[in-house]
């Protein structure tokens, strides 16, 4: 049977949940039926995993017939299979096996050393199926499985039939693709306090790094060529910030190596979330390891500012107070928070905003203490964006009904900070009006730095 596997889209979440419900029917009459039938896969959680790039779907004739979800709740070098389901009518056709292998291959490229899962020992398409694909039963009472075991017992799974299994992943080798996160950022406030002689604006802002974003895939070449195997319509290689970042690093270090670069875009362009800058930073950090060029963080950040003012914060991988054009960084310890990020689906050109006559360019300087106290929470671009971009204004009004909605960077994405994951999910689930909303957590250190440590520990670089 011909089928395709690709990353799921946020719009697929409802369909994936329906597939899970259909697959659960296979357990009718089994000892675990009560637990399975009373515990539905949460659509908002599936949507969040999709947004983070952790869900793949199998399609036959453009119809989704199966999927696999991964989760990152365990140790930083271990990833789990949260769910894998195939419609019963498509069982036994190799789709489940292909989904599992696809997920394991991505996990290896991302530097994970092991894949874990919990399953039933006596069901042919559970433990025996996984055993055929390199998984072995492990001690479920080990500390790594404590939370999962507790959750299973809370949900009523038969303890004597429940097993945990692990599959070790082969170390990365030279010439393999590697997967690097390129996280989004939010500007928790943004003030313009002057203009320099060279025409650049002096800013004050707080960068908050998030747990989702783009994905940059890198593969070393021995011929010195730096290129994109997959062309991007309307974006020549010379204008691509990732290609420019790689060529800048190559010129600085005089390496004779090259690279293939591929980017899976999830951060909206023109959204004020730093997508292009983050992609460039991931290339600098990733290739510095893979090429063994050995630049330290300060040297990489100095290269980054030549590509864009936001690049250094992604290179350094910590939320920070920023001044200058955004490159003078003071790391900040920010409390654990979750964010509803709303994309009004309207590109906001930054250059036009900086030229706006109504933009406030000489605001008094803020301090870190004034930000912490809440006295500095504005975004200088918001009045301009409101006046010129009605969809963004409408999104601000809608999200503002739940709290203090703010513009990120120069827009057009907006966000709302919440204290709990549940509160953020509740707001995001009510999004309408043609906007797109999802939930992200503020994190430190950056997912990029965590990935660098995993990939370095895998033996490559």
Active site amino acids: 185, 310
Cα–Cα distance for residue pair 169/77, rounded to 1 Å: 11
CB 293 within 8 A of CB 287: yes
DSSP 400: G
Burial 225-255 (b: 16+ CB within 10 A, else e): ebebeeeeeeeeeeebbbbbbbbbbbebbeb
Residue 137: count other Cβ atoms within 10 Å of its Cβ.
14
Token duo for residue 429: 């689930």
| The token pair that represents 343 in the structure block | 């994309």
Check: CB of residue 275 under 8 Å from CB of residue 267: yes
Q: For residue 86, what is the DSSP state?
A: E
Residue 394, preceding peptide bond in cis (omega within 30° of 0)? no
C-alpha span between 37 and 195 (Å, rounded): 62
Alpha carbon distance 80, 73 (integer Å): 8
Strand order in the sheet with 338-343: 405-407, 414-418, 338-343, 436-441
The candidate with the shortest Cα–Cα distance to 431, out of 356, 342, 362, is 342
Strands 436-441 and 338-343: antiparallel
**Closest Cα partner for 261 from 294, 232, 289?**
232
CA neighbor of 191 nearest in space, from 441, 361, 13, 387: 361
The answer to whether the CB of 65 falls within 8 A of the CB of 1 is no
How many CA atoms, within 13 angstroms, populate the side-chain half-sphere of residue 321?
14
């Amino acid at each position: 049977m011909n089928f395709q596997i690709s990353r799921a889209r946020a719009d697929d979440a409802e369909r994936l949940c329906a597939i899970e419900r259909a697959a659960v029917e296979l357990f009718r009459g089994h000892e675990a039926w009560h637990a399975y039938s009373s515990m539905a896969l949460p659509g908002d959680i599936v949507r969040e995993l999709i947004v983070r790039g952790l869900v793949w779907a199998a399609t036959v004739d453009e119809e989704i017939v199966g999927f696999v979800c991964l989760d990152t709740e365990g140790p930083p070098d271990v990833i789990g299979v949260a769910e894998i389901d195939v419609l019963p009518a498509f069982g036994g056709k190799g789709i489940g096996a292909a989904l599992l292998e696809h997920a394991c291959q991505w996990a290896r490229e991302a530097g994970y050393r092991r894949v874990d899962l919990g399953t039933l020992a006596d069901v042919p398409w559970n433990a025996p199926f996984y055993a055929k694909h390199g998984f072995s039963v492990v001690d479920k009472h080990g500390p790594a499985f404590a939370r999962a075991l507790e959750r299973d017992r809370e949900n009523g799974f038969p303890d004597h039939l429940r097993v945990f299994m692990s599959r070790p992943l082969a170390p990365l080798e030279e010439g393999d693709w590697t997967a690097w996160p390129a996280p989004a950022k939010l500007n928790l406030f943004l003030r313009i306090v002057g203009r320099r002689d060279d025409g650049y604006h002096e800013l004050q802002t707080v960068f908050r790094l998030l747990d989702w974003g783009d994905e940059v895939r890198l593969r070393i070449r021995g011929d010195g060529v730096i290129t994109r195997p997959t062309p991007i319509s309307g974006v020549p290689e010379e204008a691509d910030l990732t290609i420019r970042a790689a060529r800048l690093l190559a010129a600085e270090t005089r390496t004779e190596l090259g690279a293939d670069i591929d980017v899976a875009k999830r951060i909206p362009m023109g959204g004020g979330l730093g997508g292009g800058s983050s992609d460039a930073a991931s290339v600098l950090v990733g290739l510095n390891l893979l090429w063994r060029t050995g630049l330290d963080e300060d040297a990489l950040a100095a290269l980054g500012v030549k590509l864009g003012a936001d690049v250094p914060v992604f290179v350094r991988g910590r939320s920070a107070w920023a001044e200058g054009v955004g490159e003078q960084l003071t790391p900040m310890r920010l409390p654990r928070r979750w964010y509803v990020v709303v994309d009004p689906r309207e590109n906001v050109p930054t250059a036009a905003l900086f030229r706006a006559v109504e933009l406030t360019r000489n605001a008094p300087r803020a301090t870190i203490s004034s930000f912490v106290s809440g006295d500095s929470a504005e975004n200088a671009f918001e009045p301009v964006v409101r006046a010129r971009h009605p969809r963004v204004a409408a999104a601000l009004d809608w999200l503002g009904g739940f709290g203090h909605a703010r513009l990120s960077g120069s827009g057009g994405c907006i966000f709302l900070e919440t204290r709990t994951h549940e509160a953020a999910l509740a707001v995001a689930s009510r999004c309408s009006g043609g906007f797109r909303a999802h939930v992200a957590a503020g994190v430190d250190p950056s997912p990029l730095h965590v990935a660098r440590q995993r990939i370095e520990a895998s033996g490559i670089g």
